[in-house]
Structure 1
Amino acid sequence: MKSSTAPRILTVVAVLTMIAAGIGFVVTLILNAFVFDEYDAYGEVPIPGSSSLELPAGEVTVTFHTVLVGASGNGLPVPPLNYRMTGPDGADLQLAEDYGGMTTVNNDARVRIGYVHVPAAGTYDVKLDGNVSAYLNPSLAFGHGSNYGHLPWILAAIFGFAVVDLIVVRVWAARMRRRDLTQAAWAADDNPPPPPIRAVPSYASSEDAIRVQTLESLARLRDSGALTQDEYDAEKKRVLDGR
């Protein structure tokens, strides 16, 4: 496997993971808001009206629920409500207000108004009243959030890990690319190209060249006094005759 293959594979895996996690995050948010949210798991009480509900111990979500007539561009304003929630022991439950965003499905709208802490499981009497003449079939719903509320955060964490993995892989790929370039440069230095072959001039050693060299030597001997003129003439004649 080439050194660049592993970073490419990991890059593709990281990108695909980011795409899948991003899409999953959006999808689970939508499903939790519109499908998996059990805002009325323990029942609803009409406004005005009263009812007895079986509530479990722990935190219970309280939601204002109504039907909208026409579009509402300003959200769902919650009217002033008078309520009393009494437990089996006669103690009243207090609503901790914590308003959420509006959720609408086919004009069926709801908005969380808060939470009630139920000290012990049992039957609780709920009495409601308020100025709700502007609403159609208003009620308070008691339930809990989606059982899959943790999924978006898990997918968000996966997306973050994929981003970190992508950054690490790209840094690794850049280092490997620099290493390969360095090794290629070293290989080029260890095996330099052979120097060009220069042509060596050839000189023909003909008999005429030998005669010229011999005559030059004889002239130098004569000039130095080593040969007399008669000896020089005799040797010169011999050379010229080719003897």
Structure 2
Amino acid sequence: MAGTKTVSRILTLSGILMMVIGGVGFIIVMVLNAFVLDEFDAYGEVPIPGSAQVQLPAGQAQISFHTSVTGSPSSGFPLPSLRLNIVPPEGVADPVLTENHGTLTTVNSDTHIRIWTAEIPAAGTYQIRTDGQVNGYINPRLAFGKESGSGYLPWVFGGIFGLGLLDLIASLILRRQQPTVAQFTPAHQYTPSDQGVRLEQLKTLAALRDSGALTQDEFDAEKRRILGE
């Protein structure tokens, strides 16, 4: 019983600790991803409309629409019609563009949202040309970057929070299974008093007398002995 209580207490404390670490860590990572670790423009930007050379590494590049806004845009942020042309270095195959819309991210008055993912066949300097219907947008441009290397961290802290919750549930189950004190308390045993013992003996004597096993004299003698007369 004492061991069960100790395990339940440990599970409760560890559960609370892990939930605090998981929750606080998740919030911190999300804030860092939005303000510090976001690398959506790591390789450079090209104004819309406009052209520029961008140094791109081999592999996958994220292409985002980047603009300034007034107020707080909602998830229904209208995307303009855009055109993009990527000219590779001489002797290199054309990058493969795939439409891949991401989540709208807004920091202060700065907003960006992923539109394409480009498979870059080889590292080099690429000529980028952009165009589109961007009237009404403030300083619109296409940003070339990569996904944050810490994208897995929210899942890690979310998992820690979940483990802490499981610990709390387990501790509650153990507490419910702990036997109560009443289950270990032996039933009260009745101890007859001397007077009760004498009454039982007299009842037995009377039964023996009535059955003929004792005479009246024998009954009276035993009765006086029991009563101490």
TM normalised by structure 2 equals 0.75
Rg (Cα) greater in structure: 1
Q: What is the distance in 2 between the residues matched to 1:92 and 1:178?
A: 73
Compared CA separation, residues 72 and 10, structure 1 to 2 (3 A): closer
Deviates more, 1:166-175 or 1:61-70: 166-175
Q: What is the distance in 2 between the residues matched to 1:106 and 1:140?
A: 19
Q: Where does residue 23 of structure 1 map in the other structure?
A: 24
How far does residue 131 in structure 1 lie from its aligned partner after superposition? 1.6
Q: Where does residue 39 of structure 2 map in the other structure?
A: 38
Q: Where does residue 164 of structure 2 map in the other structure?
A: 162
Question: What aligned pairs does 1:74-223 form with structure 2 within 5 A after superposition?
Answer: 75-88=76-89, 89=91, 91-175=93-177, 177-178=178-179, 182=183, 184-185=184-185, 188=186, 193=189, 195-199=191-195, 200=198
Identity of aligned residues (%): 42
How far does residue 60 in structure 1 lie from its aligned partner after superposition? 0.7
SS at match of 1:38: coil
Q: Where does residue 53 of structure 1 map in the other structure?
A: 54
Q: What is the distance in 2 between the residues matched to 1:38 and 1:181?
A: 64
How far does residue 197 in structure 1 lie from its aligned partner after superposition? 1.2
Q: What is the distance in 2 between the residues matched to 1:144 and 1:32?
A: 13
Q: Show CA shifts across 1:144-200 (max 9, x none).
A: 12221110001111222222222233323333x128664x14xx15xx535131324
For structure 2, the 5+ residue unaligned runs are 200-216, 218-229
Compared CA separation, residues 70 and 172, structure 1 to 2 (3 A): closer
Compared CA separation, residues 50 and 148, structure 1 to 2 (3 A): same
Q: What is the distance in 2 between the residues matched to 1:85 and 1:99?
A: 19
Q: Where does residue 2 of structure 1 map in the other structure?
A: 2
Letter in 2 for 1:28: V
Asked if 1 retains the 8 angstrom alpha-carbon contact of 2:48 and 2:131, the reply is: yes
If asked which structure has higher relative contact order (CA below 8 Å, sep 6+), I would say 2
Compared CA separation, residues 70 and 159, structure 1 to 2 (3 A): closer
Pairwise CA RMSD: 2.6
How far does residue 40 in structure 1 lie from its aligned partner after superposition? 0.6
Q: What is the distance in 2 between the residues matched to 1:55 and 1:94?
A: 13
Letter in 2 for 1:41: A
Letter in 2 for 1:79: P
Asked if 2 retains the 8 angstrom alpha-carbon contact of 1:50 and 1:125, the reply is: yes
Asked if 2 retains the 8 angstrom alpha-carbon contact of 1:84 and 1:93, the reply is: no
Letter in 1 for 2:170: V
Q: Show CA shifts across 1:105-124 (max 9, x none).
A: 22111111121111221111
Q: What is the distance in 1 between the residues matched to 2:191 and 2:166?
A: 51
For structure 1, the 5+ residue unaligned runs are 202-216, 218-243
Letter in 2 for 1:83: L
